[in-house]
Homo-oligomer: A and B are copies of this chain.
Amino acid sequence: MISIKNKLSEKGLKITPQRMSILEAIYSISHPTADDIIKFIRQEHSNIATGTVYKVLDTFVQKGLIKKITTDKDVIRYDSLLTHHHHLHSSEDVLIKDYIDEELDEILNEYFQKKKINGFKIEEITLQIKGKFNE
């Protein structure tokens, strides 16, 4: 898609088939691991080197095209949703869902406007909301 190409060139990145596939994969899979992305790309398209995927993901994070998200597993996941949001983490399995709540963000902003944390300058607050998804 033209928009994928645009996203790359906006960030001053060379357009390569690998980068386009990886970005498409991230947009198609919810909070994927590097391995999820590799499997997704290899289904249809050509082979891709795992090192390339890790390197490209790193570049994308650096350029702000995607974000890293943390879980209590030793694997890094990636997020294509760039606007500020939080995550619902299943306490039973590996499911993660986006949680967008501007009202909450407003409350937090107000709270930390008043209550300064001494010796620390806040850049971003992310909630990890752990719980159970019903059915």
Chain A contacts to B: CB under 8 angstroms: 68-76, 88, 91, 97, 99, 101, 103-104, 107, 111, 115, 117, 119-135
Kindly list 5 other residue pairs between chains A and B, CB separation below 8 angstroms, not including A101-B115, A103-B115, A127-B127: A70-B72, A117-B129, A120-B132, A122-B131, A128-B128
Q: How far is the CB of A125 from chain B (nearest CB, A)?
A: 5
Query: Which residue of chain B is the closest to A61 with respect to CB atoms?
Result: B72
Number of copies: 2
Asked whether, in the complex, the Cβ of A127 is within 8 Å of the Cβ of B130, the reply is no
Asked whether, in the complex, the Cβ of A74 is within 8 Å of the Cβ of B72, the reply is no
CA distance A73 to B72 in the complex (A): 11
8 Å CB contact of A104 from B101, B111, B129? B111
